[in-house]
Amino acid sequence: MDADPRSGFLEIDGSRLEYRWVGPGPAKAVTLVFLHEGLGCVDLWRDFPDRLAERTGLGALVYSRPGYGRSDPVPELLGLDYHRTEALDMLPKVLEAAGVRRAILVGTSDGGTISLIYAGSGQAKGMEAVISMAAHVFNEEVTIRGIKEARTAYQTSNVRDKLARYHGDNVDWAFWSWCNVWLSPEFRNWNVERYLSGVTVPVLVLQGADDHYGTLAQVDAIAAQVSGPAEKAIISNCGHSPYLEQPGDTLEAMAGFIDRLITGA
């Protein structure tokens, strides 16, 4: 990939995943790899990857997981272990297909969870750091309540129409895959804390102070259990999507972390 912003599709296991590239190519700089939330995609990041890449001088790869955005559809709904599947099967193939050599993973919500699992799996290559934003490492009652509210809104309001602008024909698959897993009785005891001790790179654990999908216990658990150095950043007046709700504060928190990482300060 070259240094010019570009977009297209990565071919992985016979499926096309949409991607967008910003800034220097992987041969010239560390790559910020953006992993979206449970209902996210490339376009829902808006210009945040561009701003962080410009602020830090790094390249950025933004992609949509299978079944999201303009990526190819998936015939079956997600399984209960979809975080692990994305982290250990799909993400390594995405990094290889994109030619990423050294990466800082920037994951939000499900994307943050996937980033932590990959970083702690023992099979991660070229990892420089993880920025975990609104990630979950265990299920909580507040999460279940929030998703039940989202389900009601999807069924009774214009939420589906809004999401369809980003996901097109993938919209129902994207929503119900995410919703059904998290509300499944078998998922109540879901927990991926076992991967945290394997995370040896620096980690920024960022979350909105008013996140309605998770408590600050998620932040504390991640920061306490990773083996590498960990920083916390709690964004005031902010819910579950800091990069959308408080983009300025979120950008500065991430950029400061990256600056310290690069300079060794």
Strands 31-35 and 127-133: unpaired
The pLDDT, as a whole number, for residue 26 is: 92
Write down the pTM of the prediction: 0.96
CB atoms within 10 A of CB 210: 13
Instruction: Tell me the pLDDT tens digit for each residue of 49-80.
Output: 999 999 999 999 999 999 999 999 998 999 99
- Cβ-count burial of 236 within 10 angstroms (0-12 exposed, 13-18 middle, 19+ buried)? exposed
Domain boundaries, the chain: 6-138+191-263
The pLDDT, as a whole number, for residue 128 is: 97
Are the CB atoms for 49 and 34 separated by under 8 Å?
Answer: yes
Spatial distance between the Cα atoms of 22 and 100, rounded to a whole number of angstroms: 13
pLDDT band at 1 (very low <50, low <70, confident <90, very high): very low
Please say if the pLDDT value at position 2 is more than 50: no
Domain 6-138+191-263 top-level CATH class: alpha beta
Spatial distance between the Cα atoms of 242 and 254, rounded to a whole number of angstroms: 11
